[in-house]
Structure 1
Amino acid sequence: MRIRLRLYPILVILVLTLAIPTIFLRGTFQQKTVLEVDGLNNFSSLESVSLGPIIWAESFNNLTTWSLSSNAPGVLQLNSSMVLSVAFPLKSVPQAVTASRTLNLSLDKNPAITLTLAVTSGASYGIRFYGLTSSGTNFAAWREGSLLQHRRGLGTQETISANLVSEFLLANPKLPLAGSRITKLSLYIEAAPLISGKFSMKLTTLQANLIVTNKIESNRLNGNFTAVIADLGPTIQSQGLFQVFVGLDIKGSTDLSYVPYFISGASVLAQGFTYIPKVATTYELALLQPSFVNSSPLFVGKPSSSSIVVSAKTGEMTFFRLNSVSIRFLSSLSAPAQALSPANYQLLLFYYFIFLFVAPTGMIVLLVKVFRDEE
């Protein structure tokens, strides 16, 4: 009984030693909480979007419209397709060859470019656009980090589409859109350092289409369309964005699959999985997260708005209804005690010293003394 009574103070000291740092240090660092916002508070319209008629197409019969520039020998051939071939020697620096074509596409017409091509595996490639504003200022309508840059050659045919207005806005947010036009397209093949060999790009389709839209001030759409843009009003901040839940009803062709996006202007802030319509119900609650972003839709909303874009990956939609949009942010509590000030820093060091060194040492000494007394 004497041993148990003597051990009670030790147990109390142990509990206090473990609990006191939690009690007194819990407010030293910022804590996170989830703030939920109803994304439909400023909802204004739904817009159905599809590719319209072809306004221009490459015929691959006029070599003078193309030019070749590179720091490696390249060969450009036109014969019902464009073939860019290059033999990269072994070098310790990156190498590239570029083929360019003149264009004259007004951004006021909201055009989209579609290319069908195949690039040898082992090399990378990219697509870049250049143009002029209405005042004659040159601009580049491409940016590093875009999915159109440094793509891995697969050795198989791919179809790639680009919204020229979106590419312009993402690369030049301060330039005027009205009156601007795309005047040049460049395609390049590149090899990383110490990569050598023969590589090629075969382009079989190059065309521009109008983008056809139909906007209604309602939360539902009927018809045949490949994308839906829901205008959520003024751009919503992206800082601290955690998750977006979108409740929707959707119908479409038997091969329909679609991807939802949360977009601010032309920038993708969050993306969902690839969904297919359910058999038992038309309803879907889609989860979008910033960490899921690995693509961008062909169609986006207004530069000054945030939007939910639902883009068909295969097939097309025939019915769409937007039921709910829940936007969740991770916000930091802003209590003054949460900032790690110099005073808090010194106090933290003091607690570390006491509870990591002094308290354990004292407990060991106390235990030794107790058991010696018992002997």
Structure 2
Amino acid sequence: MTRILCISLSPIRRDARVLRQISILRQLGDVVTVGYDEQPDGVVEHIRVPDDRLSLPQTVGGVLNLGLRRFDAVELAAPGVSYALDKLRGREFDLVVANDARVLGLAFAVAGDAPVWADMHEWAPEERTHVLSWRLLVAPFMIHLCRKYLPRAAAVTTVGGEIAKLYARDFGVTPHVMRNAAPFADLSPSEVDPDRIRLVHSGGAVHGRNLEAMIDAVRMLDDRFTLDLYLVPAADGGRYLKSLRDRAGDDTRIVFHDPVPPAMLPVTLNAYDVGVFWIPPVHTNARLTLPNKLFDYVQGRLALAIGPTVEMERVVREHGLGVISDDFDVRGCADSLRSLTADQIREFKRASDASAERLSFEHEASAALAMLRPLVAAS
């Protein structure tokens, strides 16, 4: 039986992209995962990295080597990476999958002659450029890993065409685009009440995603508008989520819910009218983002309200899915919603329904399998 190793130093059970990736890999063989948290469903083995074993070389020696640009010395030095390497010594696989640049060194260290699929998700050199220490120490390390390993990968993927162009420009590779599309959900658009427009947002409660704008925009709008939020707390102990609750204050139109599992999200979203997300272009990944939630909203058969974000705007315009604000200012976001009529929302929801199959994970999965089957057959 084909043995496949999938490495993702994330809590895989809550990582929607990696879970979808595993569902593809299972069609090719037995899957062993390496990552944080409990074993994901459907894999034959899970090597659980302890939560306190970080995915970057954030030790005294590691930081020193990063500062001195001794990148070869720290490729396998991150506590999480070194833990996984120790558990994988002597193991053989027919395909190794590296999720994100930080595990490229580990993937190639354990792959031997097996092909490596490098799924870069977003633009690795600017993953957290809003953090000074990242810009100074980690970004150059990410560039080193991409420059050294991506040309050696049997396949490279990323989330959108614009980011693929960046990898081609800077590292001389031609990534396949594998969008963060959700599985097809057999749903129909819910009814629209002309006197009530139900806005919804799902995702992580993470700084930099302009979640404050959604709250402020609703507070500027008339009483037809409500906002329901399904937010996953960030790794800050829930402080940012609390700040959002405080910002909403006693406005009863704004309701915070516990997050729901990815499989339940389309049904949950289906009860609403408009999925909202206005993320300003604070860095390259934000400027070029094509996030899970856009596809989740489509599977929920919602209208969409977004800002002028390059990749998102392209999809929304191509399929006629919703409204696009002129900018990311709160007033502009509110203005894009204020003029919506019940008939327009119904039209946008019908467009989501018509596009749901084409914008589903199944469409992306078929392309991924066509890419991977020759690699597995040749190994």
Report the TM-score range of the alignment, normalised by the length of the smaller protein: under 0.3
Bigger Rg, which one? 1
Structure with the bigger percentage of strand: 1
Q: Greater relative contact order (Cα 8 A, min sep 6): structure 1 or 2?
A: 1
| TM-score, scaled to structure 2 | 0.25
